[in-house]
Amino acid sequence: MAQTYARSLILALVLPLFGACSMGQMVARSSVAILDGGVEAMNRETDLVLAASAIPANLKLIEGLIEEDPRNAALLTNAAQGFYGYAFGFAELQDTQRALALYARCAEYGSRALRTFGFDIDAATASVEVIDRAAAALGHDAVPALFWTSSCMAKQIDLNRTDPAQLARLTGTERLMNRVMQLQPDFYYGGAHLYYGVYYGGRAPMFGGDFARAESSFASAREITGGKLLIVDVLQAEYLERQRLDRDRFRALLNRVIADPVGSFPEMALVNQIARARARHLLQQETEWF
């Protein structure tokens, strides 16, 4: 009788939990660790063709899991990161409009992730004061969502530089990244420093650019990995050196990237392969820009 009562009590306590969490949600939540392992494996990939073929299926898998658990911050952030990486690495240089659509999806997933942390405002239209107040309430657990949301929004603006309405949204992305700098400036191998290198280096001083601050930001990003993350050199060449018309430095940075041995930074091998491909593309544009 006592055993029966105890069993009944346990069921009475446990069954409501299963009722509040569907089987689909349980599967989605248990998949996060597997997805993180998949990201690590993809980051070590050196074959760009293989990566370009595999990533879309992984993105659709994540989207399917989000359908089952739509407020899962980890899944939403994984989606944002994945769409950013695919857009930057495999779409942007071939099809700008497709890249814009992918960055839009990235920004939407990032914004949804931020909402799970209580950041329920539109960073594209809210005032600096409103954004800063909302961002100040976020802690370290929101850093990935802040970083990828800001990054995706910034790329949408970067590919729409001739649209004043898009440029007006830039401040919102900067305030999100500013919170990343406050909380964890070395997140994603110094990605926030890299953001500010582009932010200050990609515009003439009369439009808010600051070449000295840009160079300092790129140097900070480079220091975090000891110069092993090649995309730092690529973006410095693409934005800062191109803006200040330093052709020699532009060429030197990109040639260094191309000459760097494959596999020199195994945990970010894919990003470095993307950097090499982008460096070759940029060198082909050299005579048009200088």
Selection from 85, 71, 93, 169 nearest residue 125 by Cα: 169
Burial of 68 (0-12, 13-18, 19+ CB in 10 A): middle
The answer as to whether 241 is a domain residue is: yes
**Lowest mean pLDDT, pick from 32-36, 50-54, 179-183:** 32-36
Average of per-residue pLDDT values in the chain? 89
Distance CA 255, CA 213 (A): 24
Q: State the average pLDDT over residues 109-118.
A: 97
Whether 170 maps to a domain, the answer reads yes
d(Cα 55, Cα 45) in Å, to the nearest integer? 11
Determine, yes or no, domain membership for 3. no
160 is written with which tokens? 């729409």
Under the banding of pLDDT at 50, 70 and 90, the label for residue 14 is very low
Q: Within a domain: residue 5?
A: no
The answer to whether position 4 is within a domain reads no
Look up residue 264 and give its two tokens: 């020199």
Q: Is residue 271 part of a domain?
A: yes
Structure confidence at residue 263 as a pLDDT band (50, 70, 90): confident
Scanning the structure block, which residue is given the tokens 């800062």? Answer: 240
CB-count burial class (<10 Å; 0-12, 13-18, 19+) for 25: middle
Q: If residue 228 lies in a helix (H) or strand (E), which one and from where to where?
A: none
Q: At 75, which CATH number?
A: 1.25.40.920
Domain extent, residue 80, equals 20-289
pLDDT at residue 271 is higher than 80: yes
Statement: residue 67 has pLDDT above 80: yes
Structural domain includes residue 206? yes
Q: In the prediction, which pLDDT does 283 show?
A: 97
Domain count for the chain: 1
Q: 143-191, pLDDT tens digit by residue?
A: 999 999 999 999 999 999 877 777 778 899 999 999 999 999 999 999 9
At 168 the pLDDT is 76
Task: Write out pLDDT tens, residues 70-108.
Answer: 999 999 999 999 999 999 999 999 999 999 999 999 999
Q: In the prediction, which pLDDT does 163 show?
A: 79
Model confidence at 35, pLDDT cuts 50, 70, 90, reads: low
Residue 13 lies in a domain: no
